[in-house]
């Protein structure tokens, strides 16, 4: 289920970054913001495909680490750049949810 949610989120970011960014930030998204959203969407899609094919502990752990790193960098962005705060906090929350869900799943499988 987590893999499907990640793939869906990635596909939405990749296909409709303008809409997603406008809903989250409540302002029009610039070219750079849309590009970043598309890159993050592509990363989530790739991660979903990798995790769908390989559920080994190292792969799951790498996915958790990537999500935790993404969440922490978004928190830093939210602190340093107030104009990106809403989007960065939303992105941090999504990544943290993916990291926590992945960790819970890994623990249950152990």
Among the listed residues 88, 74, 86, 93, the one whose alpha carbon sits nearest the alpha carbon of residue 26: 86
Q: In the predicted model, what is the mean pLDDT of residues 29-36?
A: 90
Give yes or no for a contact between 91 and 40, defined as CB atoms under 8 angstroms apart. Answer: yes
Is the pLDDT at 109 greater than 90, yes or no?
no
Q: What integer is the mean pLDDT of 24-36?
A: 88
Name the residue with tokens 């890159």: 39
% residues pLDDT > 70 (the chain) = 99
Closest CA to 63 of 76, 50, 73, 74: 50
Helix/strand/coil (H, E, C) string of 35-70?
HHHHHHHHHHHHHHHHHHHCCCHHHHHHHHHHHHHH
| Arithmetic mean of pLDDT, 16-38 | 90
Q: Can you give the pLDDT at residue 105? A: 86
Q: Is the pLDDT of residue 2 over 90?
A: no
pLDDT at 60 over 80: yes
Burial of 6 (0-12, 13-18, 19+ CB in 10 A): buried
């Amino acid at each position: 289920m987590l893999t499907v949610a990640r793939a869906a989120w990635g596909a939405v970011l990749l296909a409709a970054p303008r809409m997603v960014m406008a809903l989250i930030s409540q302002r029009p998204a610039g070219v750079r913001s849309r590009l970043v959203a598309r890159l993050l969407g592509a990363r989530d899609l790739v991660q979903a495909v990798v995790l769908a094919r390989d559920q080994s502990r190292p792969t799951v752990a790498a996915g958790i680490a990537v999500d935790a790193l993404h969440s922490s960098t978004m928190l830093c962005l939210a602190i340093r750049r107030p104009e990106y705060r809403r989007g960065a906090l939303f992105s941090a929350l999504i990544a943290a949810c993916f990291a926590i869900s992945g960790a819970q799943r890994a623990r249950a499988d152990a």
